[in-house]
């Protein structure tokens, strides 16, 4: 493998993304860089998919507004708080509240109330990450003041032309607004996460190299990226025969994780559910490629199958205890250690503030 430099340029990134024959050396290097920069701890975030009601109509996503087949649900405040308390008792550092995008007043106020209630029920100890889409700066501020300290908002692709092909051409789905939202999150003070989908129709390796450079230059603290997976009730399904094979999408996603770890060693990088839906060992493979965060699903079992962003999304009905049991073993097998009872702030955020 060629020599790896942190200040890699685009050509070097492309060569690494292309190194089909020897990814093992790349993964080993990524693990080494992770372990020597932030250690071999894996942080757990309890994922609660709080609602699949969404005002957006993204062409790739199963919970898009126009999908009349999606069964819409919202988890009650009481249930969200109870799950958060379980996560706290199990010594997860934090939870992620993820859901479709809604920006009506009632919802914004409800989230604020949910946040305060979680904080109160967990003696202010549990970290809270939100993943609730584009909101105004004022809403981000209100939710920050109510106790959220991290926010995930994927850019999906950093290429504006490709972005426009994946979203309706209107002012609800604007690349500029997405960029501005990311900027506002950083301004308000959130630890900010972003990420992209890998193996999208029309996407090139060149686009993916640009995505990695975008994540580095926008000073993101956390990244979640995973393979694009088709969904039969979405417009993008017509492109299903033009995609890379599932196994190629998995391999490419793992290479993206590894190269990003080399580019920005102090990031928190999640090993995502989408990896697991291609390969039951996908999340472990993500750790072996340099990721350091896993998000066990804590959504109420009845709702899990409804939060269907893409086809074949794994929705195990395993209890949190059973998931932790399996995960601890798998994490140790990957040469990592579970970090309990810690927020697990990205080192990048601390370095950014110095």
Per CB under 6 A, residues contacting ligand 5AD are 60-61, 154, 156, 197, 228-229, 231, 274, 309-310
Q: Could you give the residue ranges of the DSSP H alpha helices within the chain? A: 10-18, 23-37, 77-89, 105-121, 137-145, 160-166, 175-188, 205-217, 246-263, 273-278, 282-288, 301-304, 320-333, 347-353
Structure tokens at 164: 């426009």
CB of 30 to ligand 5AD, least distance (A): 22
Q: Which residues are 94's β-sheet partners?
A: 45, 127
Nearer to ligand 5AD, 61 or 287 (CB): 61
Nearer to ligand 5AD, 151 or 310 (CB): 310
Place of tokens 């996407």: 203
CB of 181 to ligand 5AD, least distance (A): 12
CB of 273 to ligand 5AD, least distance (A): 9
Tell me the C-alpha distance between 78 and 316, whole Å.
Answer: 23
How many other C-beta atoms lie within 10 A of the C-beta of residue 215? 25
Burial of 73 (0-12, 13-18, 19+ CB in 10 A): middle
Nearer to ligand 5AD, 150 or 154 (CB): 154
Nearer to ligand 5AD, 16 or 63 (CB): 63
**246 within 8 A of 199, measured Cβ to Cβ:** no
Place of tokens 């472990």: 284
CB of 163 to ligand 5AD, least distance (A): 12
Following DSSP, what letter does each residue of 149-171 receive, concatenated?
Answer: -EEE---B-S-HHHHHHHS-SST
CB of 309 to ligand 5AD, least distance (A): 4
CB of 59 to ligand 5AD, least distance (A): 9
Nearer to ligand 5AD, 276 or 292 (CB): 276
Residue nearest to ligand 5AD (CB): 310
Nearer to ligand 5AD, 143 or 310 (CB): 310
């Amino acid at each position: 493998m060629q020599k790896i430099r942190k200040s890699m340029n685009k050509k070097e990134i492309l060569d690494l993304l292309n190194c089909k024959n020897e990814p093992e050396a790349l993964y080993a290097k990524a693990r080494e860089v992770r372990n020597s920069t932030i250690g071999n701890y894996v942080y757990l975030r309890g994922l609660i998919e709080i609602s699949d009601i969404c005002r957006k109509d993204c062409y790739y996503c199963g919970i898009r507004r126009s999908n009349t087949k999606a069964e819409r649900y919202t988890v009650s405040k009481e249930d969200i708080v109870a799950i958060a308390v379980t996560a706290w008792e199990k010594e997860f550092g934090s939870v992620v509240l993820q859901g479709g995008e809604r920006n009506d007043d009632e919802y914004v106020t409800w989230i604020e109330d949910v946040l305060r209630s979680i904080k109160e029920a967990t003696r202010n100890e549990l970290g809270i990450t939100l993943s609730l889409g584009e909101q105004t700066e004022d809403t981000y501020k209100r939710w920050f003041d109510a106790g959220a300290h991290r926010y995930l908002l994927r850019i999906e692709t950093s290429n504006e032309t490709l972005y426009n092909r994946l979203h309706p051409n209107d002012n609800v789905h604007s690349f500029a607004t997405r960029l501005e939202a990311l900027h506002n999150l950083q301004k308000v003070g959130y630890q900010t996460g972003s990420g992209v989908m890998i193996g999208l129709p029309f996407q090139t390796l060149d686009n993916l190299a640009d995505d990695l450079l975008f994540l580095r230059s926008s000073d993101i603290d956390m990244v979640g990226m995973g393979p694009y997976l088709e969904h039969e009730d979405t417009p993008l399904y017509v492109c299903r025969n033009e995609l890379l094979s599932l196994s190629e999408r998995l391999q490419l996603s793992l290479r993206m994780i590894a190269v990003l770890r080399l580019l920005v060693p102090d990031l928190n990088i999640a090993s995502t559910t989408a990896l697991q839906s291609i390969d039951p060992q996908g999340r472990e493979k993500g750790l072996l490629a340099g990721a350091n965060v896993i998000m066990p699903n804590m959504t109420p079992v009845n709702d899990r199958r409804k939060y269907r962003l893409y086809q074949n999304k794994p929705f195990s009905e395993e209890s949190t205890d059973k998931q932790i049991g399996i995960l601890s073993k798998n994490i140790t097998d990957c040469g990592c250690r579970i970090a309990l009872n810690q927020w697990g702030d990205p080192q990048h955020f601390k370095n950014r503030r110095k």
